[in-house]
Amino acid sequence: MLETTTHPPAGPTGTALLTVDGIAADYGKRRVLHDVSLRVDPGEIVSVLGHNGAGKTTMLKAIFGAMPLRAGSVSFDGQPMAGWNTTTCVRSGISFTPAEAPIFRELTIGENLELGAFTVGDAAVQEQRLARVHHMFPLLKERAGEQAGTLSGGQQRTLSIGLALMSGARLMLLDEPSLGIAPSLVQDLFARIRELSDSEGLGVVLVEQNVRAALPIADRVYYMRAGRMILEETAEESSRRSDWWELF
Amino acid sequence: MDYYADIAVQILFLIMLGASLNLLMGYAGELSMAHATFYGVGAYTAGLLTLPVATEAIAAASSRGVAGGAGWDIGPALLVAIGVSFVVALLLALPALSRVRGEYLVLLTLAFQTVANQLMGSADSVTGGAYGLTPIPPAELFGLSLGMPTQAFWLLLPCTVIVVAVCFGIGESPFGRLLKGLREQELAVKAVGKDTVVPKLVVFGLAAGIAGFAGALNASYYQFIAPGTYDLNLSILVIAIVIIGGVSNLTGTIIGAILLGSLRPILQEVAGDNAIAWQAVIYGLLLVLIIRFRPFGLVPEGTSMLRLFRRGGLEPAVAGASSGVKSVTAVAPSIPELPPTPGASTAAAPPRTDAVVLSEPVVVTDPSPVLEVRNLSKRFRGLQAVDDVSFDLERGKITSLIGPNGAGKTTIFNLLTHVITPDTGTVTLNGEDISGLSPHRIAKRGMARSFQDGRLFERLTAVENVMLAVPGNSGENLALLATRPMHCRARDHEARELALEALGFVGMRAQAGTVVADLSFGDQKLVAIARLLATECDVLLLDEPTSGVDPGAVEGVIEVVRGLRDAGKTVCLVEHSVHMVGQLADRGIFLDQGRKLAEGTLEELMGQKHLTEIYFGA
């Protein structure tokens, strides 16, 4: 029988970046999240895996204040997030990158990045962040004037990470960044995410269908099934499994 | 005195119009903008028929328009008026309603209303044009003349009562239930094997026919008809009456008609010449207030007279307060085969396998596959959603379609039940090719499907939801309802018993009288399974039966699905959770990007390395 983690153990480094404690959420009458708990420490990539319809995206939305909590609580950096909406989240340093349409296709790449820093008032800070993003992803500088929709699938995903960085995110909620891009590019993209996390102390919640791509860069893994967390283990433990059928 | 009697008479006409429109709008959920036109068609028909035959002198004296009519009595003229309105409505609705979308009907009736009203005003030789038709002789009965307001009131009151009673009887009959089903979920009505086009046509014609009846009386009352009476404003007024009073509730319609019918005269007293402007303002305000505070009208559905007077008698007997699904085997009922329905359907369904006795496990001996799918393909623009898929469903087994997101699982369900038309491929059910059949015919042949999102008839009770799926309920045929009411009543009683048994099978008998919208999502899924069971189909396609169900209730659903198999049903299911599939399915068919990659037991499938790679990434 699988263990169910109901309460997150205290983070090894003291204050966790994100603590999700027993949350529930509904679509109309239908409860889609039941007692979901999760913890992310700074510099940690936590992958959330599970079958289609298990509630992974809903969990991200609930954390991000995009849908009301019916139970439980979420806190960011030790601060309770009760009453936060999506704007509060972005201003406080949380970004959400949706699985589909993560960028503004009709706008230029430069405009996309500008919009990423929409909540940042200080022009100097904006410049500094833009320089950093350009340094990390030179392509986004080279093609700054082009329409974002002309980028390849993999490049669009890169841009979506750039957008999140422009907002000054310390916690990234990434919903299936591997969706619709070639396997070799997935590895590149994921390697960059790992780098970012290591160098900047960025916390990442990585929701994925592609288990094999997610495990190598993740520190810990949560498995969801039918709206519940059914297992938490280290990515190492997870990688030793021959398959994941019993968890899906 | 005559002034007030005239107002009362006008209200009676509005009640007749409102009640008939409510049948169409409230029960069937189809909006017609041309109700005033059918009222007018009835008026002109009766007017032309009852006008005295023109003499030479009259013809010479009248320089324009219609000099004379057929000189009929009002009786036959009334019948013809009903008939003409009915037929005109059918001809109008045929192209709109045989299509799926109700929006077409709104546009079409709006156009028809405008054009027909123009015609009434311009076809001088037929309608008398703007001058109208006159003098139409007032009908007389029992020494009362329809031409005198006070006497007319006493003549029209019983007519109105009859109209309301007929509308009420139809609305609360099995046919009315079918209409409500169409209003709530048309696709689900097809999915349980019921035709949707004929009932919609019939109710449209019926509403128009009743309006024509009222129109004929109207012509006789005023002895004069002119196009201005039957314009779009009247159509909209009647719609407002229905909405303000409450859809699918005739008590509300009567209240609405009295309210709006007396508004104009009151305003004329108070505001004089500005009455019409005030009327528009007040209508607008009333509509806004009603929509804001009483979205289902002054008297919402479900507070009908029948419910008020016969509470308890109408509700199904709530036997035993056993809730939940623990009692599946204990309650296990038998659903006996229904006797054939005389003349209910011209497309005689092929004989089904014998009566399903759910209380005893069925030993399946026939080894031939119940469903054979061959070379099924479907392309959506650039995407090959289903690509040359072939498989069999073994009789009395649970087979699951498995695969990652976008594998084409639900699309296959839609292709099998012909909700979507496949590009290629054949589907054979019990040896019969069902590929080209419409969804409701496929359900009649013995294959039905459930929907991911339930698609229940939300404003009906659980038992009504399931009753709608019981095949051969004669009362759903209006002709039988009119000619053999007692037979229909008996059949509806049987349907209720069967529905209660099906609800018992899923452990929901105690909630039979609950409106589905008030049930939890898990309970709604169980009602959906009961509805599927009531179709008496042998092959059941279940789309995500456990998704969204409370974890505590999932076991119950699993038990019910196993119960279906043990009762001899062939089940095919789509579930995203492999864990759930493992608990339910005997066999699995693995799909990826529309293609079938493998089939076998779950263990066999999970043991294959390349399937693991497809599911979890390479």
DSSP state string for B503-556: HHHTT-GGGTTSBGGGS-HHHHHHHHHHHHHHTT-SEEEEESTTTT--HHHHHH
Lowest mean pLDDT among B16-25, B501-510, B524-533, B549-558: B549-558
Alpha carbons B408 and B414: distance in angstroms, whole number: 10
Mean pLDDT (chain B, rounded): 86
Percent of all residues in chain B with a pLDDT value above 90, rounded to a whole number: 61
Structure tokens at B24: 């169409």
Alpha carbons B184 and A232: distance in angstroms, whole number: 43
Alpha carbons B420 and B428: distance in angstroms, whole number: 17
Query: Do the chains contact at B576 and A53, CB–CB below 8 Å?
Result: yes
Which residues have C-beta within 8 Å of that of residue B282, sequence separation ≥ 6?
Answer: B263, B267
Query: Do the chains contact at B616 and A51, CB–CB below 8 Å?
Result: no
Q: Is B273 exposed, middle or buried (0-12, 13-18, 19+ CB in 10 A)?
A: exposed
Residue with token string 């007030």 = B4
Q: Which helix (H) or strand (E) holds A19?
A: strand A18-27
Buried b (16+ CB within 10 A) or exposed e, B379-410: eeeeeebbbebebbbbbbbbbbbbbbeebbbb
Which pLDDT band, with edges at 50, 70 and 90, does B275 fall under?
Answer: confident
Query: Do the chains contact at A225 and B616, CB–CB below 8 Å?
Result: no
Identify the residue with better confidence: B429 or B549: B429
**Which of 249-268 (B) contact A at CB < 8 A?**
none
CA B320 to chain centre: 32
Phi, psi angles (nearest 5°) of residue B14 = -65, -35
Which of B577, B606, B613 is opposite residue A225, by nearest beta carbon? B577
Tell me what pLDDT residue B264 has: 83
Taking the CA of residue A139 and the nearest CA in chain B, the distance in Å comes to 28
Region of residue B302 (left: phi > 0; alpha: psi -120 to 50; beta: else):
left
Phi, psi angles (nearest 5°) of residue B2 = -60, -35
Chain A interface, best mutation among B579, B603, B613, by max A CB count within 10 A = B579
List Cα–Cα distances, B132 to B55, B63, B227, B514, in angstroms.
19, 13, 7, 53
Which of A31, A52, A183 is opposite residue B576, by nearest beta carbon? A52
Mean pLDDT, range B2-23, rounded to an integer: 95
Mean pLDDT, range B45-66, rounded to an integer: 73
pLDDT in tens, chain A (248 residues): 444 444 444 444 568 999 999 999 998 888 899 999 999 999 999 999 999 889 999 999 999 999 999 999 999 999 999 999 999 999 999 999 999 999 999 999 999 999 999 988 889 999 999 999 999 999 999 999 999 999 998 999 999 999 999 999 999 999 999 988 888 889 999 999 999 999 999 999 999 988 999 999 999 999 999 899 999 999 999 999 988 988 98
Amino acid at B581: V
Phi, psi angles (nearest 5°) of residue A109 = -60, -40
Which pLDDT band, with edges at 50, 70 and 90, does B295 fall under?
Answer: confident
Taking the CA of residue B405 and the nearest CA in chain A, the distance in Å comes to 6
Alpha carbons A242 and A127: distance in angstroms, whole number: 47
Alpha carbons B548 and B337: distance in angstroms, whole number: 33
Residue B356 has pLDDT above 70, yes or no: no
Alpha carbons B315 and B266: distance in angstroms, whole number: 42
List Cα–Cα distances, B518 to B130, B366, B502, B524, in angstroms.
54, 42, 20, 9
Percent of all residues in chain B with a pLDDT value above 70, rounded to a whole number: 87
Contacts of A224 in chain B (CB under 8 A): none
Mean pLDDT, range B52-75, rounded to an integer: 71
Amino acid at B113: Q
Q: What angle do CA B368, B371, B376 make, to 5 degrees?
A: 130
Taking the CA of residue B602 and the nearest CA in chain A, the distance in Å comes to 10
Structure tokens at B22: 């409510």
Give one DSSP letter per residue of B62-97, joined into a string. --SS--------HHHHHHHHHHHHHHHHHHHHHHHH
Q: Residue B83's CB: how many other CB atoms inside 10 A?
A: 15
Contacts of B524 in chain A (CB under 8 A): 29
Taking the CA of residue A99 and the nearest CA in chain B, the distance in Å comes to 13
Alpha carbons B135 and B74: distance in angstroms, whole number: 14
Query: Do the chains contact at A29 and B520, CB–CB below 8 Å?
Result: yes
**What is the reported pTM?**
0.81
Q: Is B515 exposed, middle or buried (0-12, 13-18, 19+ CB in 10 A)?
A: middle
Mean pLDDT, range B349-368, rounded to an integer: 51
Which residues have C-beta within 8 Å of that of residue A171, sequence separation ≥ 6?
Answer: A17, A18, A40, A76, A93, A94, A95, A202, A203, A204, A205
B614 touches chain A (CB under 8 A): no
Mean pLDDT, range B511-537, rounded to an integer: 94
How many A-B residue pairs are in contact by the CB < 8 A criterion?
Answer: 67
The nearest alpha carbon in chain B to A183 belongs to B618
Mean pLDDT, range B447-462, rounded to an integer: 93
Query: Do the chains contact at A212 and B618, CB–CB below 8 Å?
Result: yes
Mean pLDDT, range B423-444, rounded to an integer: 94
Contacts of B616 in chain A (CB under 8 A): 210-212, 243-244
Contact between B429 and B371 under an 8 Å Cβ cutoff? The reply is: yes
Alpha carbons A147 and A144: distance in angstroms, whole number: 8
Query: Do the chains contact at B606 and A212, CB–CB below 8 Å?
Result: no
Query: Do the chains contact at A246 and B577, CB–CB below 8 Å?
Result: no
Q: Residue B135: is the preceding peptide bond cis (ω within 30°)?
A: yes
Taking the CA of residue A205 and the nearest CA in chain B, the distance in Å comes to 18
User: What are the residues facing A172 on neighbouring strands?
Assistant: A95, A204
Taking the CA of residue A30 and the nearest CA in chain B, the distance in Å comes to 5
Query: Do the chains contact at A248 and B579, CB–CB below 8 Å?
Result: yes
Which pLDDT band, with edges at 50, 70 and 90, does B390 fall under?
Answer: very high
Phi, psi angles (nearest 5°) of residue B497 = -60, -45
**What is the Cα gyration radius of chain A?**
18
Which pLDDT band, with edges at 50, 70 and 90, does B273 fall under?
Answer: confident
Contacts of B615 in chain A (CB under 8 A): 245, 248
Read off the DSSP letter of residue A202.
-
ipTM above 0.90, yes or no: no
Contacts of A228 in chain B (CB under 8 A): 551
Which of B521, B547, B577 is opposite residue A248, by nearest beta carbon? B577
Which pLDDT band, with edges at 50, 70 and 90, does B269 fall under?
Answer: confident
Query: Do the chains contact at A34 and B551, CB–CB below 8 Å?
Result: yes
Contacts of A27 in chain B (CB under 8 A): 548
Taking the CA of residue B249 and the nearest CA in chain A, the distance in Å comes to 27
Across B321-417, the runs of DSSP E, i.e. the strands, are 371-380, 383-393, 398-402
Contact between B218 and B17 under an 8 Å Cβ cutoff? The reply is: no
B367 touches chain A (CB under 8 A): no
Query: Do the chains contact at B576 and A246, CB–CB below 8 Å?
Result: no
Contacts of A246 in chain B (CB under 8 A): 579
Q: Which helix (H) or strand (E) holds A231?
A: strand A228-234
CA A78 to chain centre: 19
B516 touches chain A (CB under 8 A): no
Query: Do the chains contact at A212 and B404, CB–CB below 8 Å?
Result: no
Chain B interface, best mutation among A27, A30, A241, by max B CB count within 10 A = A30
H helical segments located in B172-196? 174-184, 186-191
Query: Do the chains contact at A29 and B544, CB–CB below 8 Å?
Result: no
Mean pLDDT, range B111-122, rounded to an integer: 93
Contact between B496 and B317 under an 8 Å Cβ cutoff? The reply is: no
Contact between A193 and A204 under an 8 Å Cβ cutoff? The reply is: yes
Which pLDDT band, with edges at 50, 70 and 90, does B546 fall under?
Answer: confident
The nearest alpha carbon in chain B to A239 belongs to B616
The nearest alpha carbon in chain B to A54 belongs to B577
Contacts of A32 in chain B (CB under 8 A): 548
Tell me what pLDDT residue B456 has: 96
Amino acid at A152: S
Which of A210, A225, A248 is opposite residue B617, by nearest beta carbon? A210
Identify the residue with better confidence: B301 or A102: A102
Tell me what pLDDT residue B443 has: 95
Q: Is A97 helix (H, G, I), strand (E, B) or coil?
A: strand
Short-list B46, B221, B52, B217, CA closest to B127? B46
Across B271-382, the runs of DSSP E, i.e. the strands, are 371-380
B63 touches chain A (CB under 8 A): no
Q: Which helix (H) or strand (E) holds B492?
A: helix B485-505
The nearest alpha carbon in chain B to A55 belongs to B548
Taking the CA of residue B585 and the nearest CA in chain A, the distance in Å comes to 15
Tell me what pLDDT residue A124 has: 93
Identify the residue with better confidence: B307 or B291: B291
Interface of chain A against chain B, CB under 8 Å?
Answer: 27-32, 34, 51-54, 178, 183, 209-214, 225-228, 243-248
Chain B interface, best mutation among A245, A246, A247, by max B CB count within 10 A = A245
Percent of all residues in chain A with a pLDDT value above 70, rounded to a whole number: 94
Q: Residue A140's CB: how many other CB atoms inside 10 A?
A: 23
Structure tokens at B609: 């390395």
Alpha carbons B609 and B618: distance in angstroms, whole number: 10
